[in-house]
Chain A
Amino acid sequence: MCLGVPGQVVEVEELTAVVDFWGVRRRVRLELVDEPVQVGDYVLNHVGFAIRRIPPEDVAMTLEMYERLLKEANDDLMAADVRGEMDAGDDH
C-alpha cells in the first residue's frame, strides 16, 4: 500500500493502462481519473488506480513556479535587508 507515484502511460485499453515507472511496468485501472488518458501521458498512481492525469505542461509550469517563488522571496528578503540598512543609517 503505497504513496502516489507518477509514471508514464505506454498502453491504453478501455478501463486499464500499462504505466511505466523507471522501467518497471504495471497495469493500473482508469475508473477514477477525471479526464481521458493517452499513451505518453503521465499519471499519478495509488494502490493500483490512476487518480490523476498530470498534464506535461504542468511539470514545466511547476518548475517555473518554484523559480518565481525563489526570486520573489529573495527580492523580498533583499528589500528587507536594504530597508534594514537604511533604517540603521537613519538612526545617526
Chain B
Amino acid sequence: MSGVTSSDQQILLKHGAGGRAMRRLIEEAFLRAFETEPALRPGVIGVSAMDDGGAVRIGDRWLVLTTDSHVIQPPFFPGGDIGRLAISGTVNDLAMMGATDVLGLTCAVVMEEGFSRADLQTILASMRQACHEASASVIAGDTKVMGKGEIDGIVINTSGIGLTSRLIRDCGLRPGDRLIVTGTIGDHGMAVMARRHGLDLESDLQSDVAPLNALIAAALDAAPDAVTAMKDPTRGGLAGSLHEMASKSGVGVLLDNALLPVRDAVRGVSELVGIDPLHVANEGKAVIGVRGEEAAATVLAALRAHPLGREAALVGLCTDDHAGMVVLDTGYGRRLVAEPEGELLPRIC
C-alpha cells in the first residue's frame, strides 16, 4: 500500500496526535486558510507562530487569547476529569505566554444523547473548582447535543483571554539558558495509560492536571526579564515541547537524565509498557527557559516554595551546538531525543 497513502485524501487519527503529521496538516491546510491580511499586521502574533496562543498588542500590553478542544476518553481518570482538564489547559496556555491574569474563559460543550446528567454535574463542579484555583471565570458558553452515536460522550472547547505586559514566546531561548521543569514528568499520560483495559496494572498514579497560572506568576515575579521561553508539555511530552522550542529558537538542548524528575510508578509503567516518560503528556507542568545561573536558582526557589512546584528541577541547558536537536546525557553516553510522532496514546487530552 506504499506510495499512495489514504492520508492524502482523508484525515486520520495521527493528524490530531500533536506530532509531525498534525504539524504538516496545520501548515498545509490551516495556515494557508487563516493567514489573512489582518493577521499579518505588526503587533499581531498569529497562527503561523504556532505558539501556545495568539496575541494582539494593545498599547504597551498584549492581549493573549487561546482555544482548546478536549476529547479525552474516558472523561473521568485518576486525578481529574475532562472538566478540570478543559479549564487547566486553557489557563495554562495563557500562562505560558505570560498572561497569568485570566480576564475570562468560554466553555462550549457538545454532548451525546444519553450522556449522564450526574456526570455532567460532576464535570461542571470540577470546572468550577479549577476556575477557583486559577482565579478565573467562565463568562460565555454554548451547549449542544448530538444524536446517539454521532459524537463520543462529551467534547469540551474552552477559550481564554488574558492581558500581560511581558509576553513570553516559545522561541526566545539562547545558548546558555537553563531549562527548568516545574515538577515530575509523564504523570498524566502514564496515569491514563495505566488504566487502559488489558494492561491490568494497579497503581496510585494520578494525573497532574492543574491550573498553573499562580505558580508561573510567582516564577515571573521572582526573576522578571530572565525568563526567556515557556511551554506546557502536553501531547508529545517534554520531548515534543523541547524540540519545538529548540527549533524555533535555533539552539540545541542538552538534558541530564539523572536530573529529570520522574515518579517511581511512572518509571514502572514506562518499563512495563515501553513508553518513554519524555514522550508522554503532562497537564500540570511547564518547562521554563531562564537566562543566567543565578536567575535560574532564583526561579527554582520560587517554584519550590509553591505547592505545585515542590519538585521543580533544573534539567538541562541550551547550547549552540546541534541546533534544533535535543540530546540526552544518559550517564553512560549521549543520545538523541527524537521529535515524537505525536501522542502515542489516543484520546489522552
Complex CA gap A21/B273 in Å reads 12
Residues in chain B near residue A25, CB distance under 8 A = 201-203
Asked if A66 CB lies within 8 Å of chain B CBs, one says no
Q: In chain A between 2 and 28, which residues have their CB closer than 8 angstroms to a CB of chain B?
A: 2-3, 5, 18, 21-27
A24 touches B272 (CB 8 A): yes
Residues in chain A near residue B205, CB distance under 8 A = 24
B268 touches A23 (CB 8 A): yes
CB distance from A4 to the nearest CB of B (A): 10
Closest chain A residue to B204, Cβ basis: A23
Complex CA gap A23/B202 in Å reads 9
With A2-B274, A3-B274 as contacts: A24 and B269 at CB distance below 8 Å:
yes
Closest chain B residue to A2, Cβ basis: B274
Residues in chain A near residue B265, CB distance under 8 A = 22-24
CB distance from B199 to the nearest CB of A (A): 8
For the complex, count residues of A whose C-beta is within 8 A of B. Answer: 12
Report B264-293 CB contacts with A as 1/0, cut-off 8 Å: 110111011110000000000000000000
Residue among B194, B200, B271, B272 making CB contact with A27, cutoff 8 Å? B200
| Binding site secondary structure of chain A | strand
Complex CA gap A25/B269 in Å reads 9
Report B189-201 CB contacts with A as 1/0, cut-off 8 Å: 0000010000111
Interface core residue of B200, B265, B271 (most chain A CB under 10 Å): B271
B202 touches A24 (CB 8 A): yes
B201 touches A23 (CB 8 A): no
Closest chain A residue to B198, Cβ basis: A48
CB distance from A29 to the nearest CB of B (A): 11
Complex CA gap A2/B263 in Å reads 21
Complex CA gap A22/B269 in Å reads 8
A26 touches B204 (CB 8 A): no
B267 touches A22 (CB 8 A): yes
Residues in chain A near residue B194, CB distance under 8 A = 24
Report A24-51 CB contacts with B as 1/0, cut-off 8 Å: 1111000000000000000000001000
Complex CA gap A5/B274 in Å reads 10
Residues in chain A near residue B204, CB distance under 8 A = 23
Going nearest first, the 5 A-B pairs with the smallest beta carbon separation are A22-B268, A24-B268, A23-B265, A25-B202, A24-B203
Interface CB pairs A-B, < 8 A, 27: A2-B272, A2-B273, A2-B274, A3-B271, A3-B274, A5-B271, A18-B202, A21-B271, A21-B272, A22-B264, A22-B271, A23-B203, A23-B204, A23-B263, A23-B265, A23-B268, A24-B194, A24-B201, A24-B202, A24-B268, A24-B269, A25-B201, A26-B200, A26-B201, A26-B202, A27-B200, A48-B200
Which of A's residues lie within 8 Å of B, judged by CB?
2-3, 5, 18, 21-27, 48
Which of B's residues lie within 8 Å of A, judged by CB?
194, 199-205, 263-265, 267-269, 271-274
Interface contacts beyond A2-B273, A24-B265: sample of 15 additional A-B pairs, CB < 8 Å, sorted by A: A2-B272, A18-B202, A21-B268, A21-B271, A22-B264, A22-B265, A22-B268, A22-B271, A24-B269, A24-B272, A25-B201, A25-B202, A25-B203, A26-B202, A26-B272
